[in-house]
Amino acid sequence: MEVISKGKGPLFKDVTPFEFRESRKNSNRGQRNKVTTVKEAIEKYVTDGCYLASGGFGTNRIATSLLHEIVRQKKKDITFCGHTTTHDYEVLVSGGCISKVDAAYIVGLEARGLSTVARKAHQAGAIEVCEWSNASLGWRITAGAKGVPFMPTYVNLGTDTYEYSASQVVKCPFTGQPVVLVPALNPDVAVIHVHKADEMGNCEINGIVVTDDDLALASKRVIITCEELVPTEYFRDNPEKTIIPWIAIDAVVEVKNGSYPGNMCGHYFSDEDHLKEWLVAEKTPETLEAHLDKYIYSCKDFNEYVEKCGGEAKIEELRKLEKI
């Protein structure tokens, strides 16, 4: 195809669909017990310099326990996929974990405000950015899941978002008209929180799925946390509930309230007071360090973090709000 133009953004992850297929073929993702701990999963699969993708949408259904553990283990130089990320991006930037980001929606926590620490990191040039729209980054993941090198689309054509992306405009061999090609994305690791999972990694998601089904299929390694670990018979009796299949999963961890302080559809609403506390703590390096020490570094696990934030009494309040 004739290349008409190229975006000026950096391509952080090479497009290697055949290599990705080989990596999936050689992974040990059989029908086996994949249950582990948060600590062990992060130690095993998340390495310095890896490409990490976060599931969920905004503060909805994020894998907070895994994100905290990445910060606790002081992982560095991570390239991050910011499809629609808010608190998850805030947590990792606060921990100094990220050096590059494929960005669609980041930094802003919707009506709550903007992450000060993330804005400062970007303004200082500490994080290298490639621009995408929500749709174009989502379709990069879809292409990665399908095992093809790119996805043709018209999205961002003629916009500055295209100019600062790593997309290319080519002449369509069928119509002769310009079409945008977005490169496939195959993250090294994806962290996804779900409602239910079994020991093999079959997953149920209620509410918005976003691209998490494709993200699991597109990633070389996938760590799942779930609100509830259920017997495999649950999915055999209700096959329509399997949003993500076991063939995509490397590790499963049961983490009750694992999206807190984010929202979990049908389980609990977001803790708006605690999300505000994060934003306030970011105002100075001293208050941020004290905040991270209190809620992450000094906590032996995620349950201790939730207890410090009010424990089951707080979760029960948020559960009532979610029902409303």
- Give the pLDDT of residue 54: 96
In this predicted structure, what is the pLDDT of residue 108? Answer: 82
pTM for this prediction: 0.96
Half-sphere exposure of 170 (CA within 13 A, CB side): 15
In whole angstroms, give the CA distance from residue 103 to residue 30: 33
Question: Which pLDDT score is estimated for 319?
Answer: 97
Instruction: Please give the pLDDT value at position 4.
Output: 97
SS (H, E, C) 19-74: HHHHHHHCCCCCCCCCECCHHHHHHHHCCCCCEEEECCEECECCCHHHHHHHHHCC
pLDDT digits 0-9 by tens, 181-230: 999 999 999 999 999 999 999 999 999 999 999 999 999 999 999 999 99
Q: pLDDT tens digit string along 239-248?
A: 999 999 999 9
The alpha helices in 240-310, defined as continuous H runs, are: 272-281, 285-292, 302-308
Q: 92: closest CA among 101, 189, 83?
A: 101
Backbone angles phi, psi at 193, to 5 degrees: -105, 135
User: Which pLDDT value is given to residue 23?
Assistant: 83
**Cα–Cα dist 295/72, whole Å:** 10
- Cα–Cα distance for residue pair 227/21, rounded to 1 Å: 30
